Amino acid sequence: MGLVDERLVGKGQYSAAVYTSKHIAVATPHSIAGYSIRDGVLEYEIATPGAVSSLVWSRDRGMLAVIANGRCYLQSVKDRRKTFDFGTTSANSVAAAGQYIVVASKRRLRYLVPGPVFENSLRELSLAVSMLDLSATGKALCVVKNNQVAIVDLTAQRVLQVPLTLPEPPIKVACFESSGLVISGKRGYFLTMSGKVVAVIDWKDTPLDIAPIDDGVFGVLVNGKLEARNPLTGYLLAQIDCNGSSLAKNLVVGSEIIGVRFHITAEDVLSLDITEAVPLVDQLPEIAADPRIRILRTEYADTLVDEGEISRALKLYTVAETPVQQVVAKLRPIIESIPTEESNDMSSVFSNRTSRTTNSNPTVESTVRYLVQARRKLFILAAAEERPVNAEDATAVDTMLFLCYIKIHSPLVGPLVRVDNFCDVETVRSTLLSIGKWKELATFLSGKGLHVEALELLRDKANDPQIIDYLVRFAADDYDLTTKFSRGPISRSPQLAITLFANSKLNKVKLNDFLADINESLAWELLERWIRDGDQTSELHTRWAIKLVKDESPETEMFLRQSKIYDAKKVLKNVTDPLLQAILYGRLKKHDKAIELYITAREYDLCEVYCDEIYKDSKEEGIKAVQTLYNVLLETNTTDRLISLLNTQGTRLDFSETLEKLPKDLPCDSIVPFLMLATRRLSHNVKTSQMEVAASKVYLGEQAFAAVKAAQVSATVTSTTTCSVCHKRVGKSVIGLTDHGVVHYGCL
Amino acid sequence: MARKSMLKVIILGDSGVGKTSLMQQYVNKKFSTQYKATIGADFLTKELTLDDRRVVMQIWDTAGQERFQSLGVAFYRGADCCVLMFDVNNAKSFEALDTWRDEFLIQANPTDLENFPFVVIGNKIDVDETRRAVSTQKAQRWCAQKGNLPYFETSAKEATGVNQAFDVIGRNALQQDDVEGFDQEYPDGVDFSQYEQERSDCAC
């Protein structure tokens, strides 16, 4: 660790100097001279309105901020005509950070806000400012009237008064983004940019100047030396002999310009006391990734936890990328020792409302913020690397988050247990049980698939509708679980079965058995509902059919006709009514028996309809059925029905056989429609036959003509005859004859 | 006219429910039938006047394809209103509202859970009624269970109900903004006025 110096520019009368992008800009008595950093050659010289007292480079604007003779202005080094005047006549200090440029002029603070440089980009405050410096975040560290120190937040337009009165002049200030240094006489105050004084250093001599050097160290020019000090502790990190009168960033300015660099390595940091080392690392991002530095930071964060500075510790754990499990293990005893908030009616699976009561505890609040962030990172990493979330890390985070919510923010336990989470089951179980939060526990267990445990809990704590609600939502596809835990509620409140099973996807036959065991009428009620809702389970239809038959329900016949999936054989065993038997035999395709039963039941019309339906399904079967019906009617001597059948479906009968069987006493005029239809059918058959004969004759004629034509085809083959395909001589090859002439047989 | 407030509104919901379309319809009066998945998060702003108060509504549109974990905690911090959105023709998108709400609460960690303003929007009501999967009554029941959350049915395509929904979103966000405003003060700040002097004085 140490400072390295390098003489950059030749001797001269210099009042200020600053690095720009490619040059060192040096203030001579009447100009600003730009020397090339590479070779020290003078590349430009810009006249100034007087002696330059302050020179600042605004990298973001690419311009120099100059104070000469009390006048402050911006000067472009590329285009000398490009300037912008702050309109001051007594400026005593100027500072730049980002696009902010701030000038202190007597009691005023005049500053340029980020954006284009225009007159109306200027803002002004009256603060009685005597000296200032500006941090990268737009916070100006100022000495104001009565030697008070103030931090002006230009972004938020607020002034923070530092509880510090400077004892004596001369006074100088310098700052980084998060730390500042104020020199008053021989004393130096190191402070944070939130206004807290963190260290006080007394020198033997008065420091000539101070400035931030490199990215993380304050330089103090004192007693012929340049000291490098830790901005957060004031600790002296290194020093070199150096004659100079003022100090710009990385430049000591006197009769010559010296460039300085501060080199610090991870080893340097590790050699320091931990309280010095860790704040220093904050300023040195290039060494922060070193694993040893991470360990160092983690150790320091552990110390902060022990000292109760949880928020700071968590920030440090975050930047050190300390494994979350390690952080959680460190914090858990602290969180567990915090008293739990008063019991609230927390949200759960049964009530999604969230209660408003929350406690406030900075330790837990900080931890919650850390955990939520860690949780998000775990999921992002897993998604980015296309792998599952690290379960151990996620368990540590979610369980701790749960404990934090229990402590101060119990309404959030509901959302946490409802979403996908990795909370440790045992911790959640014991915690929620101990404080009587059984609803949340049931929700949590359901999310983990621990339905048996959840339901056992609900059986002890919840009411019947709550148990049924749980089963509907989380266990709808588990027959054993559903039946086990619904038996009690359904026994007490049968209608809950409708809620639970009306749209169930479970095996309904088993469910029907289960319900019948509890409440038979309920079982039938649900069975009927399922069938009406379109269930197509054969066994259920069979059971319902038998039930209707036994009850002699007026709906029986309709059901037996409409349902196509019941087991007719089983139903038949319970049926004595011939009509119903006829329907069932029909379903069994025992048509003869069915027809016989229809006739027994004297349901002639239905029987005819039945025969007609069979015919529509199968012509062959239909003809047989009509024939059977005809024969039965002949045997039963039901002349009227016989006539009706002949006149409606007679054409489906064999004509000659039917006529032969006709009763002798049957009046011919009663079956005129049948006879006419039969005659018409016979005529149709005759005509069809005649047409077929004629068509066959035509075909035969055509074939004969083709044969004659084929016999007449001939060709003369000579020694010069060529194949019309390959155009070679035919010679003595086997040939064929085509429409195009002679061809080789092989070319066909 | 009072000071101008910045209201942060976050729209959450499953992929394809029309979050981007709704935002575009409200802010730019535009609708595109082409679906283009949102990557990460994006926002549009709209200036409006609510009860004589000028407000700028910053409407954050999120990628519904991914879950909350893809969005930073900072994204939710400072939200003044959260819009939970679903497609009335997609039952799954409605069922996901619970999870969106829970995840939001965990990530945003609002101080007063019960009174944090959520607004629920059922979008795509222009689609054929026969394809509707979530009835108005069902959505209203859900909203009632969650503490009488305001519910609106919209068509981003036909600009139906959009302005009415955002009017309520704006008002609720404004109320939340007023409540949260006190927490955002710097506790250690010193009032500027004690340092300020009359501008007419010559200080140069």
Q: What is the pLDDT of residues A274-283, one digit of tens each?
A: 888 887 887 7
Q: Give, for A470, the enclosing helix (H) or strand (E).
A: helix A464-474
Mean pLDDT of A704-713: 78
Q: CA nearest A412 in B: which residue? A: B106
Neighbours of B126 (CB within 10 A): 14
Mean pLDDT of chain B: 78
Q: A405 CA to chain B: closest CA distance, Å?
A: 10
Q: How far apart are CA A630 and CA A648, in angstroms?
A: 12
pLDDT at position A324 is 93
Mean pLDDT of A524-544: 93
Which residues in chain A (414-453) have CB-CB distances under 8 A to chain B?
414-416, 418-419
DSSP notation for A496-515: HHHHHHTT--S-HHHHHHHH
Determine whether the interchain pair A125/B69 forms a contact, defined as Cβ–Cβ distance below 8 Å.
no
Q: A296 CA to chain B: closest CA distance, Å?
A: 27
Q: Give, for A544, the enclosing helix (H) or strand (E).
A: helix A538-550
Of residues A329 and A382, more confidence is placed in: A329
Mean pLDDT of A322-339: 92
Contact A611, A626 (CB under 8 A): yes
Cβ-nearest to A376 among B69, B115, B199: B69
Residues of chain A positioned with their CB less than 8 A from the CB of B103: 415, 419
| A215-238: burial string, b at 16+ Cβ within 10 Å, e else | ebbbbbbbeeebbbbbbbbbbebb
Q: Is the pLDDT of residue B191 over 60?
A: no
Query: Under an 8 Å CB criterion, which residues of B touch A?
Result: 66-73, 98-99, 101-103, 105-107, 109, 111-115, 145-147, 186, 188-192, 195-199, 201, 203-204
Determine whether the interchain pair A90/B192 forms a contact, defined as Cβ–Cβ distance below 8 Å.
no
Q: Is the pLDDT of residue A724 over 50?
A: yes
Q: Does the residue A71 lie in any domain? A: no
Instruction: Give the number of A-B residue pairs with CB atoms closer than 8 Å.
Output: 119
Q: Give, for A299, the enclosing helix (H) or strand (E).
A: helix A291-306
Cβ-nearest to A88 among B102, B196, B204: B204
Helix (H, G, I), strand (E, B) or coil at A250: coil
Q: A333 CA to chain B: closest CA distance, Å?
A: 23
Q: How far apart are CA A429 and CA A25, in angstroms?
A: 70
Cβ-nearest to B109 among A195, A354, A368: A368
pLDDT at position B199 is 35
Cβ-nearest to B188 among A195, A358, A383: A195
How sure is the predictor about B68, in pLDDT bands with cuts at 50, 70 and 90? very low
Residues present in chain B in total: 204
Tell me which residue range forms the domain holding A186.
166-257
Of residues A8 and A175, more confidence is placed in: A175
pLDDT at position B36 is 63
Mean pLDDT of A337-354: 56
Q: Does the residue A731 lie in any domain? A: no
Residues of chain B positioned with their CB less than 8 A from the CB of A127: 195-196
User: In A590-671, which residue ranges form alpha helices assigned H by DSSP?
Assistant: 591-600, 604-617, 619-636, 639-649, 655-661
* Ordered domains of chain B (ranges, CATH): 5-194 (3.40.50.300)
Which residues in chain A (151-180) have CB-CB distances under 8 A to chain B?
153, 156-161
Determine whether the interchain pair A372/B114 forms a contact, defined as Cβ–Cβ distance below 8 Å.
no
Mean pLDDT of chain A: 87
Note the Cα B124 to chain centre separation in Å. Answer: 18
- Residue A247 is given by DSSP the state E
Q: CA nearest A379 in B: which residue? A: B69
Mean pLDDT of A81-103: 90
Summarised one tens digit per residue, pLDDT across range A146-162 is 888 999 988 888 888 89
Strands (E), B22-137: 41-50, 53-62, 81-87, 118-123
The token duo for B3 is 């000071």
Which residues in chain A (628-687) have CB-CB distances under 8 A to chain B?
none
Determine whether the interchain pair B102/A358 forms a contact, defined as Cβ–Cβ distance below 8 Å.
no
Which residues, in sequence order, are bridge partners of residue B22?
none
Nearest Cα neighbor of B24 from B53, B47, B46 is B46
SS (H, E, C) A146-165: HHEEEEEECCCCEEEEEEEE
Determine whether the interchain pair B107/A89 forms a contact, defined as Cβ–Cβ distance below 8 Å.
no
Q: Does the residue A480 lie in any domain? A: no
Q: Strand A217-222: give its sheet, edge to edge.
A: A209-213, A217-222, A225-229, A236-241
A27 touches chain B (CB under 8 A): no
Determine whether the interchain pair B204/A89 forms a contact, defined as Cβ–Cβ distance below 8 Å.
yes
Determine whether the interchain pair B107/A88 forms a contact, defined as Cβ–Cβ distance below 8 Å.
no
In chain A, the percentage of residues whose pLDDT exceeds 70 is 97
Summarised one tens digit per residue, pLDDT across range A568-605 is 999 999 988 998 999 999 888 898 889 888 888 888 88
Mean pLDDT of A222-229: 91
Q: Is the pLDDT of residue A255 over 60?
A: yes
Mutation target for A interface from B101, B102, B115: give the one with most A CBs within 10 A: B102
Q: Does the residue A568 lie in any domain? A: no
Q: How far apart are CA A214 and CA A260, in angstroms?
A: 9
Q: Does the residue A238 lie in any domain? A: yes
Q: A108 CA to chain B: closest CA distance, Å?
A: 6
Summarised one tens digit per residue, pLDDT across range A453-474 is 999 999 888 889 989 988 888 8
A728 touches chain B (CB under 8 A): no
pLDDT at position B185 is 26
Cβ-nearest to A105 among B109, B201, B204: B204
Distance, first Cα to last Cα, chain B:
35
Q: Does the residue A470 lie in any domain? A: no
| A656-665: burial string, b at 16+ Cβ within 10 Å, e else | eebeeebeee
Q: Does the residue A187 lie in any domain? A: yes
Among A117-121, A526-530, A655-659, the range scoring the smallest mean pLDDT is A117-121
Mutation target for A interface from B107, B195, B198: give the one with most A CBs within 10 A: B195
Of residues B42 and A79, more confidence is placed in: A79
A127 touches chain B (CB under 8 A): yes
Q: Is the pLDDT of residue A330 over 90?
A: yes
CATH number, domain with residue A243: 2.40.128.630
Mean pLDDT of B42-57: 83
Contact A341, A408 (CB under 8 A): yes
Mean pLDDT of A211-232: 88
Contact A229, A272 (CB under 8 A): no
pLDDT at position B178 is 61
- For A105-113, the CB contacts below 8 A with 24+ separation are A105/A70, A105/A72, A105/A129, A105/B203, A105/B204, A106/B203, A106/B204, A107/A145, A107/B197, A107/B203, A108/B203, A108/B204, A109/A140, A109/A142, A109/A152, A110/A86, A111/A140, A111/A154, A112/A74, A112/A84, A112/A86, A113/A154
Residues of chain B positioned with their CB less than 8 A from the CB of A352: 98, 101, 145-146
Q: Does the residue A252 lie in any domain? A: yes
How sure is the predictor about A166, in pLDDT bands with cuts at 50, 70 and 90? confident
pLDDT at position B113 is 76
Q: A356 CA to chain B: closest CA distance, Å?
A: 5
Q: How far apart are CA A136 and CA A121, in angstroms?
A: 18
Helix (H, G, I), strand (E, B) or coil at A421: coil
Q: A367 CA to chain B: closest CA distance, Å?
A: 12
Residues of chain A positioned with their CB less than 8 A from the CB of B191: 159
Count Cα neighbours of A104 within 13 Å in the Cβ-side half-sphere.
23
Summarised one tens digit per residue, pLDDT across range B129-173 is 889 999 999 999 999 988 899 999 999 999 999 999 999 999 988
Burial class of A44 by CB neighbour count within 10 A (0 to 12, 13 to 18, 19+) = middle
Q: What are phi and psi of B111, to 5 degrees?
A: -70, -35
Residues of chain A positioned with their CB less than 8 A from the CB of B145: 351-353
Q: Kindly give, in sequence order, each residue whose CB lies less than 8 Å from that of residue A259, ignoring residues fewer than 6 positions away.
A: A5, A6, A7, A8, A19, A24, A250, A251
Summarised one tens digit per residue, pLDDT across range B73-114 is 667 778 899 999 999 999 999 999 998 999 888 888 887 777
The token duo for B56 is 């700028």
Strands B53-62 and B5-13: parallel
Among A437-451, A555-569, B40-54, the range scoring the smallest mean pLDDT is B40-54
Q: CA nearest B149 in A: which residue? A: A353
Give how many domains chain A has, as a whole number.
1
Q: Is the pLDDT of residue B188 over 60?
A: no
pLDDT at position A645 is 84
How sure is the predictor about A638, in pLDDT bands with cuts at 50, 70 and 90? confident
